[in-house]
Amino acid sequence: MSRIVVVSNRVALPQKSGAPAGGLAVAVNAALKDRGGIWFGWSGRIAPDPSDTPQATKHAGVTYAVVDLTNEDYQEYYNGFANRVLWPVLHYRVDLSEFYRSDLSGYIRVNRMFADHLEKIIRPDDILWIHDYHMMPLAKYLRERGHNNRIGFFLHIPMPPADIIQALPQHADTVGALAHYDLVGFQTEGDRENFARYLETRGGQTTPDGNGCDIGGRRVRLGTFPVGIETGAFARRARHASRTRFVKAFDESLSGRKLIIGVDRLDYSKGIPNRLDAYDQFLRTQPDWHDRVTFVQITPKSRTDVPEYQDMDRSVSHRAGQINGAYSDVSWTPLRYVNRTYSRSALAGFYRRADVALVTPLRDGMNLVAKEFVAAQDPADPGVLLLSQFAGAASELGNGALIVNPHDTEGVAVTLRRALEMPLAERRERHRRMMRVLEEHDINRWAEDYLAALEPDPQPERRDIALPRAAMRSVVRLPVGWGSSALPRGA
Ligand SMILES: O=P(O)(O)OC[C@H]1O[C@H](O[C@H]2O[C@H](CO)[C@@H](O)[C@H](O)[C@H]2O)[C@H](O)[C@@H](O)[C@@H]1O
Ligand SMILES: O=c1ccn([C@@H]2O[C@H](COP(=O)(O)OP(=O)(O)O)[C@@H](O)[C@H]2O)c(=O)[nH]1
């Protein structure tokens, strides 16, 4: 069997405490744990003179190989081009992007450097699986060096329509370079369609089966593979966590009040200001809920060297203070805004205690928190998920979540009340439907489907073989708002 070599900017090194929160690391870790392989990427460290040889450690069948970056690399590649250009543009926020040619040069330089390191690691029959927007041109640089391995790419974040991609200066060298992969995977059907249209604007011809595109003398296949979680293991973790002293103490601190929870990196894509506005509106218009509910918003700081994230840090703290100033009483604080990272076990316990989760991003590739919240619930008395129509997760969980538009402050406030008052039978039914999806499409299924689609062709001369059926499964796509009206109140 071929070896799998995973490449991503962020590598979840084993037993590294205080590792940064983020869905990619969680998902790749879970996928590699059972099958073994090599995971290559950035160590997370800055060094004046990084070594030419990756530092390797082996743990439970996985070899972790990491390299340091120079401060210039870190500023230009990570803070600059990846997080101030690609991240905002791919999240439909062209207005927040700050493009500098020096950052693009740094991005290209680091991708070439990763290709140099990989050359020393890979064998001809290895299968390479590259993750996320930090590494878009990597296959191109490996191909230029003569490597004909099967190379796949998975984009964890959204792919916007072609008009938005074209706002990226020199987009052909970054997004356009994805055409050098054998397979490009997306979280949702909409993302996949957007990229297919973009390739057409660049002269690509859709293949007769509709699953790929011929462009620049080669064929790239496109598929939809919504990332999942370790559903069963997470449910067990939540059951166990709810019995720990730490989570019991948290529960006692709520004094029997209903709990609303939000868990997001401090990122403008997550819609935290809109969410706080909606909670403010809820408290203003529903005084009967005062002193009966606590909203705990867990928000680890993220990308703190990037100015847009610093601005957000200030404005969200200010807004949280305003809400508490306006509604608190001596014995009730309506909002607990916490800038700390918690272990996933602690989070599992918090989710299980929560009556409602507010997952209201303005745009999100998937959002694993939404899935973890559902998996953590007690099926006999589950909480309710309020989910943005703009999270990738809405394509799968629209059958049970209350789907909201995060820009509609009043709508979110009204839906919040509905969630808090939802009868038990309806909560159970909605939870059951979502769990069915999460159990069938867990993290192992995601990795299996993707890797099956990337496997070498049995007849290499025919590059037009259709993707396996699993990869082509059409994701449940629901009209906006369907989730909210799927069940009559009181059902
Ligand atoms: O590595 P950081 O800069 O600290 O950022 C953390 C990660 O954020 C993003 O996660 C995405 O992947 C999730 C799993 O597929 C998905 O659920 C979520 O919607 C995405 O935002 C980013 O894509 C990762 O590369 C970062 O490591
Ligand atoms: O304090 C925290 C906050 C978040 N997470 C984890 O970070 C991931 C966030 O993934 P998601 O897809 O929701 O968003 P991303 O941050 O990747 O954009 C989830 O697995 C969370 O459980 C964590 O371990 N500790």
Query: Where do the structural domains in the chain lie, given as residue ranges?
Result: 4-228+445-472, 231-440
Q: Which of 11, 86, 156, 364 to mutate to test the pocket of ligand 1 (most atoms within 8 A of CB)?
A: 156
| 226 and 158 Cβ atoms separated by less than 8 Å | no
Q: Measured on CA atoms in the order 184, 196, 172, 170, is the torsion positive or negative?
A: negative
272 to each of 256, 264, 266, how far by Cα in Å?
26, 8, 8
Is 132 among the residues known to form the active site? Answer: no
> In the block, which residue shows the tokens 């039914």?
429
| 412 and 275 Cβ atoms separated by less than 8 Å | yes
Q: What is the CATH number of domain 4-228+445-472?
A: 3.40.50.2000
Q: Exposure pattern of 329-350 as b/e (b: 16+ CB <10 Å)? A: eeeeebbbbeeebbebbbbbbb
* Residue 218 identity: R
Instruction: For 107-175, give the DSSP string.
Output: HHHHHHHHHHHHHHH--TTPEEEEESGGGTTHHHHHHHTT---EEEEE--S----HHHHTTSTTGGGTT
**β-bridge partners, 391:** 364
- Residue 366 CA: which ligand is closest? 1
User: Helix 344-353 crosses helix 245-253 at what angle (to 10 degrees)?
Assistant: 40
209 Cα: distance to centroid of ligand 1 (angstroms): 31
How do 384-388 and 356-359 pair as beta strands?
A: parallel
Q: Which of 17, 132, 134, 263 to mutate to test the pocket of ligand 2 (most atoms within 8 A of CB)?
A: 263
Domain 231-440 bears CATH identifier 2.40.10.10: no
In this prediction the pTM is 0.93
483 to each of 53, 151, 384, 388, 457, how far by Cα in Å?
51, 37, 12, 11, 40
Is 364 among the residues known to form the active site? Answer: yes
Same fold: 4-228+445-472 with 231-440: yes
Q: Which backbone phi and psi does 69 adopt, to 5 degrees?
A: -115, 155
pLDDT tens per residue, the chain (491 residues)?
789 999 999 998 886 655 555 678 777 887 787 778 999 999 999 999 999 999 999 988 899 999 999 999 999 999 999 999 999 999 999 999 999 999 999 999 999 999 999 999 999 999 999 999 999 999 999 999 999 999 999 999 999 999 999 999 999 999 999 999 999 999 999 999 999 999 999 999 999 999 999 999 999 999 999 999 999 999 999 999 999 999 999 999 999 999 999 999 999 999 999 999 999 999 999 999 999 999 999 999 999 999 999 999 999 999 999 999 999 999 999 999 999 999 999 999 999 999 999 999 999 999 999 999 999 999 999 999 999 999 999 999 999 999 999 999 999 999 999 999 999 999 999 999 999 999 999 999 999 999 999 987 655 443 433 444 444 433 333 322 222 333 332 22
Indicate which atom in ligand 2 lies nearest the CA of residue 342. 1
Q: Exposure pattern of 455-470 as b/e (b: 16+ CB <10 Å)? A: eeeeeeeeeeeebeee
Count of alpha carbons within 13 angstroms of residue 389, beta-carbon side: 16
| 238 and 273 Cβ atoms separated by less than 8 Å | no
Q: Which backbone phi and psi does 135 adopt, to 5 degrees?
A: -125, 25
24 Cα: distance to centroid of ligand 1 (angstroms): 5
Nearest to 150 by CA among 165, 139, 166, 138: 139
